Structure 1
Amino acid sequence: MSETPAETPTERTADRKTRVTVLVALAANLVIAVAKAVGGLVAHSPALLSEAAHSVADSLNEVFLLAALRRSRRPADARHPFGYGKERFFWSLLAAVGIFVMGGCFSFFQGFEALRNGAEEELGGYVVGLIVLGVALLAEGASLLRALHQVRKQGGAAGLRDPALRTVVAEDGTAVLGVSLALVGMALHMVTGQVVWEASASLAIGALLVYVAYRLGRDARDQLIGEAADPEASSRIRALLEAQPEIDSVEALFTMKTGLDTALVAARVDLMPGLDSERVEEVADRIKGSIAGVVSEADQIFLDVTDRSARETWESPAATGERGGA
């Protein structure tokens, strides 16, 4: 079995940048949540109150993501021999639940209540609400640009493998779209005097948040229950094993992500006949080193090595009969 490597300088730098991105989003959401809540109460605006709930949910989620960044890099110990990398996925799952419950459900409630009871229209209050939403749009847009800049720095789509960064991008993108919906809904309510426009905006925000929560939660669930490594990485490992002159066949290959950039690899291989035990050990060590060199995230490597001739002798009908008669 290979040893778990220490956190690399590149990983530390990436985590530090992600932490800054999360803190920027947290600061923006805390200020915006208060402003939206005050504006929503003044204007009696369901769309603005829905957006306030959205920002509160995002703020709580940022706290979850900061916990994920800190806890997921703890070294392996006796209780968790494969490390704490999956903490990243656990806290991301909690963030998805937070978006669903605090953001989506509250937005649906506000929309249905507005349709059922109507909403008071106070021109002065709505002007304040529109100003709040305009400022919120600028702040959320700046936070989104910061997150997208980091994604680009970390290799584009590859940067979105980090559930913390992926969640921030999803939250900020949803926030920009949600604020835009609230602006349109409030403006149409003011122009037409029909609350249905603003209630519809609130319901649309709720549907948007539920969809985003579902996508984020599904990704976190897949990673928590044991998602395989990338198909490309698995293919490289299998090709490497099959290219070894001492290996007759690769009987099975299993991979599982154990963290953001770590994976467990287990393979069962049949060796060519005639290798002594010392040679088998040497071959196994060499193969493990080759796998670690080809796939950097493979930090835990297990090989189940079998001598083909010995296995065939053991499984032959004559040997089976002898064992059965013993």
Structure 2
Amino acid sequence: MATSPENESVGTVVVAGLANLAIAVAKLVAGIVSHSAAMLSEAVHSLADTVTEVLLFTALRRGAKPADARHPFGYGKESYVWAFIAALFTFVAGAGFSITHGVNTIRTGEHSGNYLIAYLVLAASFVAEGISFRRAVRQVRSSSREWRTTPRRFLRHTSDTTVKAVFLEDAAALTGILLAALGVGLSQLTGDETWDGVASILIGVLLLFVAATLAHSNVSLLVGRAVPRRIHEEIHDEIAALPSVERVSTLLTMQLGPSDVLVAAKVDFTDTATGAEIESAADLAERRLRDRYPNIAYVFLDPTRGAV
């Protein structure tokens, strides 16, 4: 049986969360023992990612609640609220601590302690993060094939911000580990703790970029973002090809949630079209669009006479 996108997203978030929690504890111990600013920044980075995964898990669960009388289009947009909070947490906790701690390390020049434990934990963390990242990459590739697009374009336009968040956070985590290793290594080689502090600041800047990217994406979806232009045009062509349809005057789409899309169109039918034919065309449009794009949850056609 095929795995649903929702269950796959939940699995991706859970795997990432468990990996980040274990890594955060290991990095914290290594950071305390080695007195490395970059290691402590990485510990906070992983802890922030763990809290983020909890928030993303909440986003998936809350957003999947069924529609009711007060929320007839469902709770999909609530997932973007929680995902936005997760992005803010990454910004405040992860980036703020890393940059501040890095600056303090450069100013004080505190000498690092045991380097070996830092290297061992960084190596183990890289392996664990790599496993989580591999799962995220696998889901991105699978989803991009379903939407007949490239992984890069899918990440740019996807409405499933949980998948996007895990992918970017895991990519940032792997990059952060390399930066921490470089900072610790240069500090050991030169005896200058400035490198450790610089690595910590760079990790913070990396987190700032990820947080800003995710926050912008979630705000756009909360406001009510349309589907990508290519899909918009394919929906337009599908409706325009219906029997008795002269043209599609107006087509509006909106992402209601990670897996729900609303389609509303003003359609100019032929003058000879009967009420039964219009009803049949509307029913056919819904079937065709849902078959082509399973995420389309609602299709509304408004018969319109003549020009807009």
In the superposition, the TM-score normalised over structure 2's length comes to 0.88
1:115 maps onto 2:106 in alignment: yes
* Structure 2 residue aligned with 1:320: none
Q: In the alignment, which residue of structure 1 is the partner of 2:32? A: 41
Q: Check conservation: 1:233, 1:295, Cα contact below 8 A.
A: no
Coordinate RMSD, CA, aligned: 2.3
Q: Check conservation: 2:244, 2:277, Cα contact below 8 A.
A: no
Of 146, 149, 166 in structure 1, the residue corresponding to residue 135 of structure 2 is: 146
Deviations 1:134-164 (A, max 9, x none): 2222221222223223333443728753322
Of the three residues 300, 303, 306, the one matched with 1:302 is 300
CA distance in structure 2 between the aligned counterparts of 1:31 and 1:263, rounded to whole angstroms: 37
Matched residue, 2:117? 128
Residue equivalent to 2:213 = 215
Residue aligned with 2:183, SS? helix
Q: 1:285 to 1:49 in 2, by over 3 A?
A: same
Per the TM alignment, residue 194 of structure 1 is displaced from its structure 2 partner at its CA by 0.8
1:19 aligns with 2:10: yes
SS of aligned partner of 2:71: coil
Aligned length: 299
Q: Is residue 237–residue 294 contact of structure 1 (8 Å, CA) maintained in 2?
A: no
Find the partner of 2:181 among 161, 180, 183: 183
| Structure 1 residues 133 and 225: alpha-carbon distance in aligned structure 2, compared to 1, 3 A threshold | same
> Residue 106 in 1 paired to residue 97 in 2?
yes
Instruction: Read off the aligned partner of 2:255 and give its amino acid letter.
Output: K
Q: Distance in 2 between matches of 1:280 and 1:17?
A: 39
Q: Cα 1:260–1:132, aligned 2, differ >3 Å: closer, same or farther?
A: same
Which of 54, 78, 86 matches 1:87?
78
Distance in 1 (alpha carbons) for counterparts of 2:174 and 2:281: 56
Alpha-carbon spacing, 1:269–1:32, altered in 2? closer, same or farther (3 Å): same
Residue 322 of structure 1 corresponds to which residue in structure 2?
Answer: none
CA distance in 2, matches of 1:245, 1:30: 56
- Rate the CA distance shift 1:60–1:263 in 2: closer, same or farther, 3 A: same
Give the number of the structure whose alpha-carbon radius of gyration is greater.
1
Structure 1 window deviating more from structure 2 (211-220 vs 236-245): it is 236-245
Q: CA deviation at 1:209?
A: 0.8
Between 143-152 and 98-107, report the one with greater CA deviation.
143-152
Displacement of 1:189: 0.7
Matched, 1:262 2:260: yes
1:104-161 deviation line (CA, Å, top 9, x unaligned): 1111001111122221233xx2322222222222221222223223333443728753
Q: Which is further off, 80-89 or 287-296? A: 287-296
Which one is further off, 30-39 or 185-194? 30-39
Counting only pairs closer than 5 Å after superposition, residues 216-235 of structure 1 correspond to structure 2 as 216-235=214-233
Structure 2: gaps spanning 5 or more residues: none
Sequence identity, in percent?
A: 39
The question of whether the paired residues in 2 share the 8 Å contact of 1:121 and 1:193 is answered with no
SS at match of 1:244: coil
Which TM-score applies when normalising by structure 1?
0.83
User: For residues 32 and 243 of structure 1, do their structure 2 counterparts lie closer, same or farther at Cα, with a shift above 3 Å needed?
Assistant: closer
Matching residue within 53, 57, 61 for 2:44: 53
Structure 1: gaps (5+ residues): 1-8, 313-326
Deviations 1:284-307 (A, max 9, x none): 444444443444322211222134
Q: Cα gap change, 1:35/1:266 in structure 2, threshold over 3 Å: closer, same or farther?
A: same
Distance 1:24 1:282, change over 3 A: closer
Q: 1:29 to 1:245 in 2, by over 3 A?
A: closer
Distance 1:107 1:301, change over 3 A: same
Relative distance call for 1:171 and 1:248 in structure 2 (3 A) is same
Alignment pair present for 1:199 and 2:190: no
